């Protein structure tokens, strides 16, 4: 968070300041809001639902979370004295209307660093400046602003570990800033009604099983619960999908209901008090570092939004496989850990990180389907769908990203299941048709003797699909595909 005092150029002393909320849906630790309040001027908080613009529209599951988060922010702001103004349409046009209505001379915002939003915001700032309205941007979403974590020669990092080291050594933690006691607004302004935006699905309400409590209070509660119950065993449990061993903070962080520095501070203070071992806290901080790394990369290499970070991977001979894709999307591949993950995603809007890696590998390697297809599905189905994290992680899985898993390391969905879901609790939760199958065959039901299958009530191909690929052969096909793009460099060892 940038804390430097703000001096505004001063048209009328009482000209209000617009605070343009976007993915910073909180009152505490919110630099744009804090600086707006520090001017002593009335504040006009606005959220604009961007329509028809150049920024990739949020996916369906994200919109569900956004609905809850906006309602929470609106309630919090109303309680402080400044109702949230909701507008819908072209962001610049809506800001101009609001400026005309209020006489505001400044717009404060917390920056979005992904390329499309970054250039949209730059255009808006340029356009408003020509009319004497100043736009001021702050970093409220990342531990460090992209462009400030650089190698010795001044370039961006492409490898995570040194990035993290420089990030943590060279960035001043943002001190916590409590939510303001009051926000003085400007009286009643026209505002859209969130119910009319239909952000949540209704007919049918396929999001009824989504988990999490959107909003700043929900974020604070999730952080506190994790510090009390998960952080102490984070490195042991974070890879076990049946165990609630991770923070579940991802949608809260994506929508800016929580400042990442507050999460760092909570983890480190638990370590300092002796409530959790220090290395556990630092392991969690490192994951927050991956979040920064992902967005820094996307900001610095905008082409990676839809092109391989390592350009030779754009020549990968991806397959068109509508039937395979549909089986993957609906959790009907015949590989229990893959199907469990895809069903968890569909039912809850979230999937465990280990399983994201397994299902991602299955799509790009076993099915040889383009990582962008998987990225799009996740974009629509994850409540935490995030431009930087989603793209970077899909490229990591595909082997085409910065510091990526090598393409020739193909996850075996059976051994991954046996290792990370050894007692089968995760698979049995999400693939209930297999619940009576003994552990020994649970992750590879096609290997079970007919008698065992009969006792478990499973008719292969009826109650549960047969595997849609032979993993060993699919792996060789993936390696052959890889050799076509990088014949000399890669090997299968």
Enumerate binding residues for ligand FAD (CB under 6 A): 238, 246-250, 253-254, 287-288, 290-291, 294, 353, 356-357, 360, 378, 382, 384-386, 389-390, 393-394, 397
Q: Which is nearer to ligand FAD, 102 or 344 (CB)?
A: 344
Q: How far is the CB of 281 from ligand FAD (least distance, A)?
A: 12
Q: Which is nearer to ligand FAD, 185 or 413 (CB)?
A: 413
Q: Which is nearer to ligand FAD, 20 or 377 (CB)?
A: 377
Q: How far is the CB of 364 from ligand FAD (least distance, A)?
A: 9
Q: How far is the CB of 253 from ligand FAD (least distance, A)?
A: 4
Q: Which is nearer to ligand FAD, 39 or 361 (CB)?
A: 361
Q: Which is nearer to ligand FAD, 164 or 456 (CB)?
A: 164
Q: How far is the CB of 251 from ligand FAD (least distance, A)?
A: 7
Q: Which is nearer to ligand FAD, 104 or 253 (CB)?
A: 253
Three-state DSSP string of the chain? CCCCCCCCCCCCCCCCEEEEECCCCCCCCCHHHHHHHHCCCCEEEEEEEECCCCCCCCCHHHHHHHHHHHHHHHHHHHHHCCCCEEEEECHHHHHHHHHHHHCCCEEEEECCCCHHHHHHHHHHHHHHHCCCCEEEEECCCCCCCCCCCECCCCCECCCHHHHHHHHHHHCCCCCCCCCCCCCCCCCCCCCCCHHHHCCCCCCCCCCCCCCCCCCHHHHHHHHHHHHHHCHHHHHHHCCCCCCCCCCCCHHHHHCCCCCHHHHHHHHHHHHHCCCCCHHHHHHHHHHHHHHHHHHHHHHHCHHHHCCCCCHHHHHCCCCCCHHHHHHHHHCCCCCHHHHHHHHHHHHHCCCCHHHHHHHHHHHHHHCCCCHHHHHHHHHHHCCCCCHHHHHHHHHHHHCCCCCCCCCCCCCCHHHHHHHHCCCCHHHHHHCHHHCCCCHHHHCCHHHCCHHHHHHCCCCECCCECCCCCCHHHHHHHHHHHHHHHCCCCCCCC
Q: How far is the CB of 356 from ligand FAD (least distance, A)?
A: 4
Q: Which is nearer to ligand FAD, 99 or 398 (CB)?
A: 398
Q: Which is nearer to ligand FAD, 39 or 395 (CB)?
A: 395
Q: Which is nearer to ligand FAD, 286 or 422 (CB)?
A: 286
Q: How far is the CB of 231 from ligand FAD (least distance, A)?
A: 9
Q: How far is the CB of 350 from ligand FAD (least distance, A)?
A: 7
Q: How far is the CB of 263 from ligand FAD (least distance, A)?
A: 7
CA distance 342 to 363: 11
- Quote the tokens at residue 129: 């400046």
Q: How far is the CB of 190 from ligand FAD (least distance, A)?
A: 34
């Amino acid at each position: 968070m940038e804390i430097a005092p703000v001096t505004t150029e001063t048209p009328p002393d009482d000209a209000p300041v617009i605070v343009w909320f976007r993915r910073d849906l909180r009152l505490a630790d919110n630099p744009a809001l804090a600086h707006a309040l520090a001017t002593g001027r009335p504040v006009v908080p606005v959220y604009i639902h961007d329509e028809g613009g150049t920024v990739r529209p949020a996916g369906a599951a994200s919109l569900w979370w956004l609905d809850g988060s906006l309602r929470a922010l609106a309630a919090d702001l109303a309680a402080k004295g400044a109702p949230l103004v909701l507008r819908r349409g072209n962001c610049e046009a809506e800001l101009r209307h609001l400026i005309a209505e209020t006489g505001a001379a400044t717009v404060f915002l917390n920056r979005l660093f992904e390329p499309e939003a970054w250039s949209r915001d730059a255009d808006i700032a340029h356009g408003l400046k020509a009319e004497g309205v100043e736009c001021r941007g702050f970093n409220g979403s990342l531990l460090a602003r992209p462009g400030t974590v650089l190698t010795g020669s001044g370039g961006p990092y492409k490898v995570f570990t040194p990035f993290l080291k420089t990030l943590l050594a060279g960035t001043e933690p943002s001190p916590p800033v409590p939510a303001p006691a009051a926000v003085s607004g400007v009286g009643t302004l026209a505002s859209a009604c969130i119910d009319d935006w239909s952000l949540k699905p209704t007919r049918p309400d396929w999001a009824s099983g989504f988990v999490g409590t959107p909003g700043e209070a929900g974020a604070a509660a999730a952080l506190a619960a994790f510090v009390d119950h998960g952080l102490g065993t984070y490195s042991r449990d974070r890879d076990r999908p049946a165990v609630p061993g991770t923070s579940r903070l991802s949608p809260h962080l994506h929508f800016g209901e929580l400042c990442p520095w507050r999460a760092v501070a909570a983890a480190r203070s638990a370590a300092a008090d002796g409530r959790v071992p220090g290395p556990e806290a630092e392991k969690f901080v490192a994951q927050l570092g991956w979040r920064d790394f992902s967005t820094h990369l996307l900001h610095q290499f905008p082409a990676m939004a839809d092109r391989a970070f390592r350009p030779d991977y754009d020549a990968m001979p991806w397959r068109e496989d509508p039937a395979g894709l549909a089986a993957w999307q609906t959790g009907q591949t015949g590989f229990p850990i893959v199907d469990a993950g895809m069903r968890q995603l569909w039912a809850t809007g979230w999937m465990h990180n280990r399983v994201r890696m397994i299902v991602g590998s299955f799509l790009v390697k076993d099915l040889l389907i383009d990582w962008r297809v998987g990225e799009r599905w996740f974009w629509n189905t994850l409540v935490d769908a995030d431009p930087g994290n989603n793209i970077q992680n899909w490229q990591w899985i595909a082997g085409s990203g910065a510091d990526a898993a090598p393409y020739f390391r193909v996850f075996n969905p059976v051994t991954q299941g046996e290792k990370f879901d050894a007692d089968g609790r995760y698979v049995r939760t999400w693939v209930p048709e297999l619940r009576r199958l003994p552990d020994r065959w649970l992750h590879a039901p096609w290997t079970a003797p007919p008698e065992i299958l009969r006792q478990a009530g499973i008719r292969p191909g009826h109650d549960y699909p047969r595997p849609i690929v032979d993993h060993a052969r699919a792996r060789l096909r993936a390696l052959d595909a890889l050799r076509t793009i990088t014949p000399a460099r890669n090997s299968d060892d």
